[in-house]
Structure formats: structure tokens, C-alpha cells
């Protein structure tokens, strides 16, 4: 009887993908692309899009050590009236920053928010130890009841713990261990920012979460050793993609529309350019991805 009981427990844990290991929230080489959308913007467009990451420096506030998270602005590329994708990111000036700390033993994440007068500025942002029936108790985030805890599969096939809440006006909310919340990084389930969205999470240039990692963001090369050019751009019938790559190996050129559907893919050996026939493609904006052994470069192509 004992053997049978243990087998059932093991099978349930395997089915839900739960793991005893805690996945850290604050870590290097990871970024979060988040957007905020308000009334009056077309579908798929946003008032604000930011890329958030932890570059590494620490700071001490009121005797507590925090990591600094910077949010860099993104803008439509090319510019349009409603800030619609694709986006390119600025690496020169941050929109704002936040102070975050993590207790990996208690599995909790805190944010320094000195706006509160009657409460401590060090407020709970995430609690990945909560169980069904518990409540998230935070003056910053809100006091929400946990309805269930399950797991979700990331883009890599790995499973992460998800905590689900019953949230007034939203109906429900959730956040994922090591990833963040459904509405963003700093405000995972805020009721007054109901149009927030976590667009993409990448770690070491590998997509972990989000449906837009490879289709909404351009001119953010993952390796600077590739130098590419597309001309003419805009194009009507044909265009030429040229590149300079020190590896001199195989080059893979792919063309993807704004829905993330690949419409063209070519492998090239021994050349530094390729001519592509785009006459049969629907007018619009496409993303050209150039992959070599040196890295990946992404460029925007407009077809008229």
C-alpha cells in the first residue's frame, strides 16, 4: 500500500512539473519587455513599451541592499502615430528605475517604494511560497486571495510554478516564478493598470516567455560582429541582403511577418549577399533574421 501511495504522489508531481528548486527572479543576462496600453490605441499598439533588466549594481537604502532594475524605452520603428510594433530599444537613457531585493530562502521579492507614509517602504512584490487559501499581503501590490497553484510550460519546455489569485475588477490574476506577472514586472496584477502586458522574457538570448519575442522587436542584435544591410528598403519586387561576418560559415536568412509566420527561409554558403524575390508577399512590415555562427542580427524590411 505504501509503495502504491508514493507512486501516485510522484506521478502527480511529474504531471504538474513542480520542482523543489527555486528559480531566482533577480539575475543577470535577462530582460523583460513590458507594455502599457490605454483607451484609444489600435489593437497591438501601446502607450509605453519598456525593456527592463538588472545590470548588476547594488544600492543600500535605509540599511537594506537592493538591486537596481532599469527600464529602457522602446519606440516604434519606423515611427507611427500610435506607437505600433515593431519596436527598437534605446540603450542610452533609462525611463526610470526601481529598487528590488529578493529573499531566495523565503522565496519572496520586495520593492522599495517610499510613497507609503504609514507603511514601511520595503513592500512585498512577489511571494512564491504561497499556497491555496493564503493571501498576498502587500500595501504596494494588493491583498489578493490565492485560489490555486499550478505550473506552466515556458518556451524552452521547462515548467515553472504559477500562483493564481482572485482579484477585484480583474476577476483573476497570476504570476510565475522567475518570470513575473501577467501585467508586467513591477506591477504584476495591479487593478488600475488593467492593460499592462508582459510581451517577452529572454535569458541569455533565449526566449522564455511571451508570444512576441521574435516578431515585435528589431535592431536589437544579439551579436555585434555581424554587419548587415538590406536594399532597396522599402522593396517592391526584389531586395538584396548583404552582410559581413568573420566566421565565413553558413548563413541562414529568414523572413517573418508581424504575426510571427515565417514566409521565407534560405541557407547560403560562400557568399556575402543574397537576392530575395518578395513580389508575391503581402504589403507590410517584415523582420529579416540573419543567423551565423557568430550570432544573430535582426532587421526591418518594408514591402510596398
Question: At 227, is the pLDDT very low, low, confident or very high (cuts 50, 70, 90)?
Answer: low
Question: At 228, is the pLDDT very low, low, confident or very high (cuts 50, 70, 90)?
Answer: low
Residues 6+ apart with CB under 8 A from 139: 116, 119, 123
Average pLDDT over residues 227-249: 77
Question: At 184, is the pLDDT very low, low, confident or very high (cuts 50, 70, 90)?
Answer: confident
Q: How far apart are CA 198 and CA 216, in angstroms?
A: 13
The three grid cell numbers given for residue 243, joined into one nine-digit string: 552582410
Percent of the chain with pLDDT over 90: 25
Verdict on whether the full-model pTM lies above 0.75: no
- Are the beta carbons of 191 and 170 closer than 8 angstroms? yes
More confident of the two residues 246 and 158: 158
Portions of the chain given CATH number 2.60.40.1930: 227-303
* pLDDT digits 0-9 by tens, 108-150: 999 988 775 556 788 899 999 999 999 988 877 778 899 999 9
Give, in words, the CATH class of 227-303: mainly beta
Residue 66: Cβ-neighbour burial (10 angstroms; 0-12, 13-18, 19+): buried
pLDDT confidence of residue 4: 41
The per-residue pLDDT of the chain, averaged, comes to: 79
More confident of the two residues 19 and 243: 243
* pLDDT digits 0-9 by tens, 53-104: 887 678 888 889 999 888 888 888 777 777 788 888 765 666 678 889 999 9
pLDDT confidence of residue 176: 95
How many CB atoms lie under 10 A from the CB of residue 192? 8
Q: How far is the CA of 176 from the CAs of 43, 161, 273, in angstroms?
A: 25, 6, 43
Amino acid at each position: 500500500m505504501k509503495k502504491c501511495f508514493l507512486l501516485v504522489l510522484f506521478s502527480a508531481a511529474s504531471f504538474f512539473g513542480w520542482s523543489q528548486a527555486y528559480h531566482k527572479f533577480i539575475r543577470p543576462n535577462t530582460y523583460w519587455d513590458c507594455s502599457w496600453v490605454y483607451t484609444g490605441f489600435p489593437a497591438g499598439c501601446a502607450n509605453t513599451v519598456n525593456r527592463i533588466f538588472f545590470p548588476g549594481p547594488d544600492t543600500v537604502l535605509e540599511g537594506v541592499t537592493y538591486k537596481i532594475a532599469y527600464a529602457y524605452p522602446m519606440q516604434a520603428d519606423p515611427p507611427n502615430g500610435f506607437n505600433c510594433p515593431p519596436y527598437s530599444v534605446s540603450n542610452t537613457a533609462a525611463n526610470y528605475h526601481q529598487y528590488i531585493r529578493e529573499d531566495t530562502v523565503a522565496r519572496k521579492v520586495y520593492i522599495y517604494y517610499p510613497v507609503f507614509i504609514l507603511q514601511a517602504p520595503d513592500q512585498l512584490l512577489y511571494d512564491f511560497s504561497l499556497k491555496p487559501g493564503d493571501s498576498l499581503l502587500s500595501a504596494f501590490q494588493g491583498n489578493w486571495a490565492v485560489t490555486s497553484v499550478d505550473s506552466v510550460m515556458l518556451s524552452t519546455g521547462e515548467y515553472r510554478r504559477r500562483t493564481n489569485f482572485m482579484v477585484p475588477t480583474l476577476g483573476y490574476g497570476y504570476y510565475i516564478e522567475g518570470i513575473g506577472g501577467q501585467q508586467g514586472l513591477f506591477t504584476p496584477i495591479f487593478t488600475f493598470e488593467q492593460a499592462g502586458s508582459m510581451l517577452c522574457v529572454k535569458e541569455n538570448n533565449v526566449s522564455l516567455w511571451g508570444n512576441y519575442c521574435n516578431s515585435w522587436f528589431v535592431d536589437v542584435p544579439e551579436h555585434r560582429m555581424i554587419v548587415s544591410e538590406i536594399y532597396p528598403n522599402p522593396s517592391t519586387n526584389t531586395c538584396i541582403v548583404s552582410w559581413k561576418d568573420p566566421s565565413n560559415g553558413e548563413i541562414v536568412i529568414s523572413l517573418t511577418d508581424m504575426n510571427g509566420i515565417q514566409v521565407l527561409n534560405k541557407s547560403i554558403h560562400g557568399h556575402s549577399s543574397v537576392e530575395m524575390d518578395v513580389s508575391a508577399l503581402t504589403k507590410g512590415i517584415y523582420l529579416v533574421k540573419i543567423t551565423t555562427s557568430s550570432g544573430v542580427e535582426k532587421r526591418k524590411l518594408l514591402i510596398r
